[in-house]
Amino acid sequence: EAGVAQSPRYKIIEKRQSVAFWCNPISGHATLYWYQQILGQGPKLLIQFQNNGVVDDSQLPKDRFSAERLKGVDSTLKIQPAKLEDSAVYLCASSLAQGLEQYFGPGTRLTVT
Amino acid sequence: AQTVTQSQPEMSVQEAETVTLSCTYDTSESDYYLFWYKQPPSRQMILVIRQEAYKQQNATENRFSVNFQKAAKSFSLKISDSQLGDAAMYFCAYRFQGGSEKLVFGKGTKLTVNP
């Protein structure tokens, strides 16, 4: 069974630029999560999808971050414009359903200069 | 709001020895789950062990076991017969059984295994 796929693995951008990350969850997984992991901290949930609907986006900075999950499969997370404090690893995870075990992807390391 | 605290930023252990990682959490809920995740340098988070709050028996997975003290809100991870491959960041996490059921993570403990 293929795991959660993410791309790119690394991205370096200048502040005020925009960037997008892509996530392909495990086949059949209805729930998808995006986490932000700042260096030295644990992951923090940004947004959670159930199929293509948003379940929780309470910690998503909506003035600059957006996410979508079209057709309830792949998802993209966008930052526009990026700030220095957005430098972090962005992890995508999926689970068969809400409340079940989450499987994580390898993450995308973003550096904003 | 629920919080998870890991008071040991770094720990080290000799190969084949036993090490215990500490975790405390704060919640007013009674139904929840606790987890330990391992994150090696490759960054892929891997579930090590989980504990349901309603279960009194401590969870065990091979060399990994937990000491769950619900009243004290403590959830420590014991790794027995440590192996070089156990070296990683270890994160304690909490999930309330309800709402969005999101995971709340601690800041992690970096475990070094010395040969």
Nearest CA in chain B to A107: B43
Say yes or no to pLDDT of B99 above 80: no
Better-scored residue on pLDDT, A99 or A6: A6
Give the per-residue pLDDT at B42.
78
- Candidate from A65-79, B12-26, B88-102 with smallest mean pLDDT: B88-102
- Min CA distance, B108 vs chain A (Å)? 6
pLDDT band at A1 (very low <50, low <70, confident <90, very high): low
| Record: contact B44-A107, CB cut-off 8 A | yes
pLDDT band at B102 (very low <50, low <70, confident <90, very high): confident
DSSP-based three-state secondary structure for B104: strand
Give the per-residue pLDDT at B43.
77
Could you tell me if A109 lies within 8 Å of chain B, comparing CB atoms?
yes
Q: How far apart are CA B13 and CA A29, in angstroms?
A: 37
Q: How far apart are CA B112 and CA B110, in angstroms?
A: 7
Give the model confidence (pLDDT) of B18-37 as tens digits: 999 999 999 988 889 999 99
Query: What secondary structure letter does DSSP report for B97?
Result: S
The 10 Å CB-count burial string (b at 16+, else e) for B85-113 is ebbbbbbbbbbbeeebbbbbbbbbbebeb
A-B contacts (CB, under 8 Å): 49
Give the model confidence (pLDDT) of A71-109 as tens digits: 889 999 999 999 999 999 999 999 988 778 899 999 999
Task: Please name which of A4, A9, A5 lies closest in space to residue A110, comparing C-alpha atoms.
Answer: A9
Q: Residue B115 CB: number of other CB atoms within 10 A?
A: 6
| Record: contact A42-B91, CB cut-off 8 A | yes
Mean pLDDT of B9-25: 97
Using a CB-CB distance cutoff of 8 angstroms, which residues of chain B are in contact with residue A45?
102-103
Give the model confidence (pLDDT) of A13-47 as tens digits: 999 999 999 999 999 999 999 999 999 899 999 99
Could you tell me if B55 lies within 8 Å of chain A, comparing CB atoms?
no
Could you tell me if B5 lies within 8 Å of chain A, comparing CB atoms?
no
Say yes or no to pLDDT of A56 above 70: yes
Q: How far apart are CA A54 and CA B78, in angstroms?
A: 37
pLDDT-above-90 percentage for chain B: 82
Task: Please name which of A3, A63, A77 lies closest in space to residue A35, comparing C-alpha atoms.
Answer: A77
Residue ranges of the domains in chain B?
3-114
- Min CA distance, B100 vs chain A (Å)? 6
- Min CA distance, A109 vs chain B (Å)? 10
Give the model confidence (pLDDT) of B33-77 as tens digits: 999 999 998 778 999 999 999 998 999 999 999 999 999 999 999
Using a CB-CB distance cutoff of 8 angstroms, which residues of chain A are in contact with residue B42?
106
Q: What dotted CATH number matches B3-114?
A: 2.60.40.10
| Record: contact B42-A56, CB cut-off 8 A | no
| Vertex A54 angle, CA A50 and A56, to 5° | 100
Chain A residues 15-44 with a CB less than 8 Å from chain B: 33, 40-44
- Min CA distance, A113 vs chain B (Å)? 22
| Residues B36 and B92 sit within 8 Å (Cβ to Cβ) | yes
Q: What dotted CATH number matches A5-99?
A: 2.60.40.10
Mean pLDDT of A55-80: 94
